[in-house]
Amino acid sequence: MAKKEITFGKIFHDGFFKQNPVFVQFLGMCPTLAVTGSVETALGMGAGVIFVLVFSNLIVSLIRNWVPSEVRIPVYIVIIAALVTILETVMQYYVLDLYLALGTFLSLIVVNCLILGRAEAFASQNNPVKSAADGLAMGLGFTGGIVLLGFFRELFGKGSITIWGDLGIQIIPEAFQISIFAQASGAFLVFGILVAYINKIKFRRLDQSEVA
Amino acid sequence: MKHVKIIITLMIVVIVATIGVSQVEQYFRPLIKAEAIKAANKAKFKVLPGLETTDDLSPEEGLDFGDTRIQEVIKVEGKGYIYTAKFQGFDSQIEYLLGIDMNNKVTGYITLYQGDTPGYGAQIGDPENWEQFAGKPLEDLQNGDIDGLSGATITTAGWVSSLKKVSEFHETQFGDGSGGPIETPEEKLLRQKKEILPEGVTLTDYTPTQDITGTGITSIEVANDGTNDVAVLYTAEFVGYNEDDIIEYIISFDLDSGNVIGYKTLYANDTAGLGNEIINSDNWIQFEGKDYQELLDQSIDKIAGATVTTNAWSSSLQKVTQFHRQEFEGEVILTKEERIELAKEALFPTGVTFTDITESKKSDFIVTKIFEVKNDSDEVIGTLYLSTTIGASYSEPTYIQFLMGVDTENNLTGLMMVDDSETEGRADTFYEESYDDSIEGSSIESDLEIDAVAGSTITKNALQEAVGHLIFYHLNYFVERVDPLAVDTVELEAAYPTATTFESVYLDYDYNEVIGNIYAAKDASDAVIGYVYYAKADGNNDEIEIWFTWGVALDGTTQQLNIVSDSETWDGAAGQYGTYDGSFGTNFTTTTWLDLFEGVTFTSLQSDPVDTVSGVTNSTGGMRTTIDLIITYHFEQSVGGAN
Amino acid sequence: MEYIAIAFGAIFVNNVILNQFYGICPFLGVSTKKSSALSMGMAVTFVMTSSTMIAHLLYTRVLIPNNLEYLSTIIFILVIASFVQFVEMVIKKFSSAIYNALGVYLPLITTNCAVLGVAIDTTRNSQKIFQTTTPTFWQITFYAVGISIGYALVIFLFSAIREEMDAYPIKRNWQGIPIALITAFIMAMIFSGFGGVV
């Protein structure tokens, strides 16, 4: 192998930070914006994405040497679509409320560029274990990103964080809530500010490493 | 070749994916559907436990709900029924679900919608109030035997009535639930009767030898176990708080022990909270094996908050028990009236007759009845008082009823207790004749002290006070009163020319020897405009009575004074005494002196009396005396409101 | 009137990008130039309208009668992918001018979640848009047209703004995506004003 062996540590570091799908790669932005009105839906979407990503990476990696490259994209899409359908069915039975809250976005995991992107960029070139690990890492990174976004939106928009209905904390009194954050347009604003802030940190580090 | 591989690969992937998806789908879809059905029919699953998602929950069709306001009925084969019904609450239309199983037992209740005011009905939305229903027999709903909502009378009434309608509808429509024959009212009644009778008896109608009038008994049946009559079952009714409807019950007595076997209220439509709880079997348990004597003593557990119904109930049970004791146990149990009759005779020698003269005497708050006692030669030998006085208990008003006899020499012939509602045991000793031993035969004009009884001081004091009051009444107000004397209408019209009709009202007022009658003078529209006194005055000598009629308006203005009859001779008087100057005429009947009493007022006659006439002072003085007495009487008795 | 209301609502009120967050990736990625945005908008309009109609017919005529609704996600994505492929081939064969203008954007449309999203919304999730589980073909068509126009309109306006913005100095960490998102926020605020119209 001429290529440098990729380690699990690097896989997770990439997933969380260096190639964070939400803040760095800007992959899967539709759900990023749509389901981050609350921490709860963000967590649900994150879990769904992790499930699909891990399994799609695993399956894609298992059949990587067998699928002709001309049809790999359609094959990946079919695999992802099947996994998403299974996910939908399972969620409909076990967490109906969450299923209804996520609505069409659950189906749209199929066209989440993150998943197809990881299948194409990683799973089709690595062994199943590492591919699954990459799926988990990327999924967790994605989940972390959208939960962070959801946290700010729910915190400022509704003044409280509510998870699974009964775990509610009122942090900001009603008079000081900014409802725009929880509304659709607020998603752009919060996401924009967060990205700008993360860029700021990123550039500072970059500057420091250049100086060093 | 390459194309073939591509196509095959794609096809395999699609097929495998489809199979995988459909496997998951086939496993989960039924579960998801079941959950969805459960979620959509959450309430229905709660009111009818055992319901499964595969059950057909479509409402029954073609049922006539009448005025029950049932919205729909779901029949779940082999499991039960779910009713949706509505009723008017305090200020909202309340909708609820009721589950009934195949054995006519309620399985659950849920209020689906209510918009009532908190405190006035909104409690119906509180699941705490629903818990009572699970396991309740349908019969309880028919009887209205449910725990109401505290403080929400109107909503509770609507609720009870709606549940009653639903349960009745259910019974007529679906009967025993399994589709078998419906229990007819007759069968139901028989079942209820058998529940309070020994096992395996047969019931036969019984024709009583004694009169059941006034006992409230509607039917008597004897239970025979094949060889002997073992029990008697009575069906009886009485009126509780709701005066417009009866309460019907059955009670059975063991012929061996004489005690009660059981009791059931068959029907009640009493006011909720004020008596309808009699339908609740909790109130019947006390009768199982109850000693008959306790029923005779009206000693039963009260229905909380329902004094009127409880009293009527205990009285009805007492009557039924009394009847039973007499009819089947050969006991003589006297009614109050019978006790009074016996007591009356005990106070006077045998062979006397009692005549009720209460009407002709001055009324008094403790005098219930006054009897004139006559011997067989029709001579009055004394007076008997039936007195009802307030008893001793502080917690609630009680009464004591007793008889007191007085002979013509004003000596006490004795005291007799006949009835009381005193606290148990407090008045009992006074039923024995001993309590007036020391004063019997004493003159009522002396200080009489009845015998003290230990432990009944307050009751004794109440009696003592009542006796004292009766004696005072006898000495002061008991005056022989003759019947009001009739007088020709002509004479009345002469006294009150503007009146058209006259009606005697003397009995409304106290008796006075001088006054023969008092008439209310009425105008054409039957309104009282004044009064006419028919009274007598002493004439020239004791033998002579001057009867006259004298009208007075409501405001005290006198009308005409008309001499009705007299044996007086004004002429004679003048001639006899020689000092009369004849200034008022010579005939007394027409003398102008009488005009002085006309067209003036009672008040002015009091302050400025008409002078007697010298030479005829006996006749004019007699008139003056009677007229002064009439005026005083008029004000004292407040005739027509005068004061 | 009903169809106009549906189309108006789809263009402005329920704007596919600003309100429903469908197709954000190409929205941010392709909207740097007016010309490419216009091309993308046109391609999306065509594909979205056509694929929605096809998805609707497939769903009501094939999937529902055979109780295969659960396969709709897989079928729809295959239909969209094949259709895009087919369109690409047709354009390539008949008009090189159009192909040159749209060609490069067509493959991107497959993974444009707006297309699949609208297909799913008008079939499985039609209750929330049409208040009925069985919308008519014309209701769906007008909705799809409206949504596509809304998409094209927003992406074009957005690219115009971004082109202008290039002329101004922006702090380094705000350049690119962050400032685009803030711009989108302002546009979304403006579009939310249409909420009161329908």
With contact defined as 3+ CB pairs under 8 Å, the chains touching A are B, C
Question: Which pLDDT belongs to residue B575?
Answer: 52
Domain-embedded: residue A180:
no
- Show the domain range for A49: 9-153
Nearest Cα residue in chain C from A88: C70
pLDDT tens sequence across B43-77? 888 888 888 777 777 888 777 888 888 988 888 88
Give which of B389, B366, B390 is closest to B474, Cα–Cα: B366
| CA dist., res. B489 & res. B495, Å (int) | 10
The fraction of chain B above a pLDDT of 70, given in percent, is 93
User: B324 — phi, psi (to 5°)?
Assistant: -60, -45
pLDDT tens track, chain C, 198 positions = 678 888 888 888 888 788 777 877 777 777 777 887 888 888 888 888 999 999 999 998 888 888 888 888 888 988 888 888 888 888 888 877 777 766 667 777 777 788 888 888 888 877 777 777 778 888 888 888 999 999 889 989 988 988 888 888 888 888 888 888 898 889 888 888 887 665
- Spatial contact of B101 and B95, defined as CB atoms under 8 Å apart: no
Give which of B320, B503, B362, B474 is closest to B409, Cα–Cα: B474
Mean pLDDT of B427-449: 79
- Show the domain range for C172: 2-196
The enclosing H or E element of B456 equals none
Please give the tally of structural domains in chain A. 1
**Looking at B448-579, which runs of residues are DSSP E strands?**
501-504, 515-522, 528-538, 545-553, 558-565
Question: Which pLDDT belongs to residue A164?
Answer: 65
Which chain B residues are Cβ-neighbours of A99 within 8 angstroms? none
Is residue B549 very low, low, confident or very high in pLDDT (cuts 50, 70, 90)?
very high
pLDDT tens sequence across C92-107? 888 777 777 666 677 7
pLDDT tens sequence across A27-53? 777 777 788 888 888 999 999 999 999
Nearest Cα residue in chain A from B39: A96
Three-state SS at B400: strand
| CA dist., res. C28 & res. A192, Å (int) | 12
If 0-12 CB within 10 Å is exposed, 13-18 middle and 19+ buried, where does residue B209 land?
exposed
Question: Which pLDDT belongs to residue B344?
Answer: 81
DSSP chain A: --SPPPPHHHHHHIIIIIT-TTTTS--SHHHHHHSTTSHHHHHHHHHHHHHHHHHHHHHHHHTTTTS-GGGHHHHHHHHHHHHHHHHHHHHHHH-HHHHHHHTHHHHGGGG-HHHHHHHHHTGGGS-HHHHHHHHHHHHHHHHHHHHHHHHHHHHHHHSEEEETTTEEEE-S-GGG--GGGTSHHHHHHHHHHHHHHHHHHHHHHHHHHHH-
Contact A85 C20 (CB under 8 A): no
Q: Which residues contact B356 (CB under 8 A, 6 or more apart)?
A: B369, B370, B371
| CA dist., res. B266 & res. A7, Å (int) | 87
pLDDT tens sequence across B599-634? 898 888 888 888 888 777 778 888 888 998 899 888
pLDDT tens sequence across A72-90? 888 888 999 999 999 999 9
Residues from C in contact with A at Cβ < 8 Å: 18-25, 28, 70-71, 73-74, 77-78, 81, 110-113, 116-117, 120-121, 124-125, 128, 172-174, 177-182, 184-185, 188-189, 191-192
- Among A71, A82, A93, the residue with its CB nearest the CB of B9 is A71
Which chain A residues are Cβ-neighbours of C112 within 8 angstroms? 111
Res B234 pLDDT > 90: yes
Domain-embedded: residue A197:
no
For helices A128-158 and A113-121, what crossing angle results, to 10°?
160
DSSP state of B102: T
DSSP state of B446: S
Q: Domain-by-domain residue ranges, chain B?
A: 1-40, 70-174, 185-329, 336-476, 489-641
Mean pLDDT of B185-208: 85
Give the tokens for residue B499: 């009146």
If 0-12 CB within 10 Å is exposed, 13-18 middle and 19+ buried, where does residue B222 land?
middle
What value does the mean pLDDT of chain A take? 83
Domain-embedded: residue A57:
yes
Please give the tally of structural domains in chain C. 1
Query: Which region among B262-276, B476-490, B515-529 has the lowest average model confidence (pLDDT)?
Result: B476-490
Question: Which pLDDT belongs to residue B333?
Answer: 67
| CA dist., res. C24 & res. C15, Å (int) | 12
Nearest Cα residue in chain A from B32: A93
